[in-house]
Amino acid sequence: MYTRALNFFNSFRKDIGLANVWPVSLHDIVAFIAYMYKSGFAHSTINSYTSGLSFYNKLNDYEDYTQKFIVRKMIDGVKRTRSPQMDTRLPISRELLGRILSILSCICSSAYEVRLFKAVFSLAFHGLFRVGELTVQTMSNTCYSNHALNVNDVQIYKTYLEIHLVSSKTDQFGRGVTIHIPEQLDKCICPVVLLPCYLRDRPVVEGPLFCHFDGKPLTKYQFSAILKKSLHALGIDNARWSSHSFRIGMATACAIEGLSDEKIKSLGRWKSGAYLRYIRTPV
């Protein structure tokens, strides 16, 4: 994010004819914030990009004008006048998960791929996983996700799964967390049933937990593409569904089923009230 902020700021100065000099003047920072605001940037993005400039200043021992009163007040003003964009992504329910898993045999190219996607979709839902914790960005051996589960991170027991998530988006220092997922009443969507079925046929290769029969890891794009194709095959408009719909869906299911707020936060590994944005209970 900070690198993107720096690159965007450099492009901004070049486009409007400002000199590429450091430390950045107060005038340039104010102009940058005004430009982002007029361009429709969200408060969170403007704040992050300004923090990126601040970080670069501190790293190089430059005077940091981003902490000036006028800059902080501009950012506060953006927050007051710009409402956050509503998240319109829809939750996947237990019932819809079952329908998605049942249609995979008509979507996937082989029986192995069916078992792969049944396992990964079920785990994404019941473990409230982010897609980056289950897939890689690309198939390149040098581009494995820092957070994707490894095949050695999973232990299977008779009535539950024990998964060690080494790191995640909110655990950049790799403290790790152990997740227990119990068996479900509906065995057709139960990860305690579906994951072992997949692992019995998984090629004996080290690396990410989810991979194709040739050993190549499952990518984020492939995960989303099969989800979209499944919804389309079910006659569902897939425009408002994404990989995050599994995480939203389980959080919503937990709320409907009466779990406490603290329990939902714990299951989803949230450290703040951000979990509330994931709960889509009927009004």
Instruction: Name the band, by pLDDT with cuts 50, 70 and 90, for residue 178.
Output: very high
Instruction: Name the band, by pLDDT with cuts 50, 70 and 90, for residue 141.
Output: very low
- Find the Cα–Cα–Cα–Cα dihedral 115, 118, 210, 277, rounded to 10°: 180
By three-state DSSP, how is residue 152 classified? helix
CB atoms inside a 10 Å sphere around CB 282: 5
On the 0-12 / 13-18 / 19+ scale of CB atoms within 10 A, 199 is middle
CA neighbor of 246 nearest in space, from 189, 201, 180: 189
CA–CA distance, 257 with 180 (Å, rounded to integer): 18
* 14-23, 82-91, 187-196, 221-230: the lowest-pLDDT one: 82-91
Q: Is the pTM of this model over 0.85?
A: no
Q: Is the pLDDT of residue 106 over 80?
A: yes
* 70-79, 142-151, 195-204, 205-214: the lowest-pLDDT one: 142-151
